[in-house]
Amino acid sequence: MNAAAYFLMIDMESEARAIARGLRRRDPQLLDRLIEQYQHRLLRYLLYLAGNRELAEDLFQETWLRVLERGHQYDGGHEFVTWLYAIARNLTIDYLRKKRPVSLDGLMEDEEHTPAEPADTQPLAWEIVAQHEQAERISAALVGIPADYRETVVLRFQEGLALDEIATVTGAPVGTVKSRLYRGLNMLMSRLKGAQA
């Protein structure tokens, strides 16, 4: 490990510990800063997880309230964003279970509950990405793949999480994460090829 990487790691660890201390104190200024810092990443993750912008925004707010309530559970041992995504994910699953008794795994077999095509029923979710034709096609292809695969692809390639971090967030073994990544990317590529044909 070179010196820069070492100091970066030390810096990240001390930041995680500082966040953990602040969360235990329920420091409002720290929470304000975290909300601003992770706003786009968290919303993007929730948007692709829930497939609906309005719901994603509700879950965004609920996630931060949950962070406030359960902040003492974050020990600073790993990156804050991993813990944040795990909370967001659990809230989304809880919401989907209450709405309909299915889990994210259930969504895989449930074609009817696959997040809707953006152009038809959920235009709001895609207003932002619809500016470019390519972005639109990719987004459409992304919501078309099963939720577990979509989540893994988004966490890896958009959020830049490591495989073990994705495993922590999703509660799946690293081997499963790898296979979801492979299959998810394949599905995405074949869907895009199909759309282009």
Q: How far is the CB of 62 from other proteins (least distance, A)?
A: 9
Question: At 95, which amino acid appears?
Answer: Y
- Closest CB 2 distance from other proteins, rounded Å: 16
Residue 38 DSSP label: H
If one asks whether residue 157 binds other proteins (CB under 8 A), the answer comes out as yes
User: CA 36, CA 55: separation in Å to the nearest integer?
Assistant: 19
Residue reference for tokens 């309230």: 65
Rank residues 31 and 102 by Cβ distance to other proteins and give the closer one. Answer: 31
Q: Give me the 23-62 binding string for other proteins, x by CB under 8 A, dash otherwise.
A: ---x-x--xx--xx--xx-xxx--x---------x--xx-
Q: Is the dihedral of CA 103, 184, 113, 143 positive or negative?
A: positive
> Amino acid identity, residue 106?
G
Question: Residue 101 CB, nearest distance to other proteins (Å)?
Answer: 29
CA distance linking residue 19 with residue 72, whole number of Å? 10
In the shown chain, the binding pattern of residues 71 to 110 toward other proteins, with x for contact by CB under 8 A and - for none, equals: ----------------------------------------
Residue 121 C-beta: closest distance to other proteins, Å = 18
Q: What is the per-residue DSSP string for 98-155? A: HHSS--HHHHHH-GGGSPPPTTTT-GGGGTTGGGSHHHHHHHHHHHHS-HHHHHHHII
Closest residue by Cα to residue 170 from 101, 79, 42, 82: 82
Between 61 and 103, whose beta carbon lies closer to other proteins?
A: 61
Report the residue from 11, 15, 69, 105 that binds other proteins according to the rule CB under 8 A. Answer: 69
Q: Contact positions toward other proteins, by CB under 8 A?
A: 26, 28, 31-32, 35-36, 39-40, 42-44, 47, 57, 60-61, 64-65, 68-69, 128-129, 134-135, 138-139, 142, 153-154, 156-158, 162-163, 178-179, 181-182, 185-186, 188-189, 192
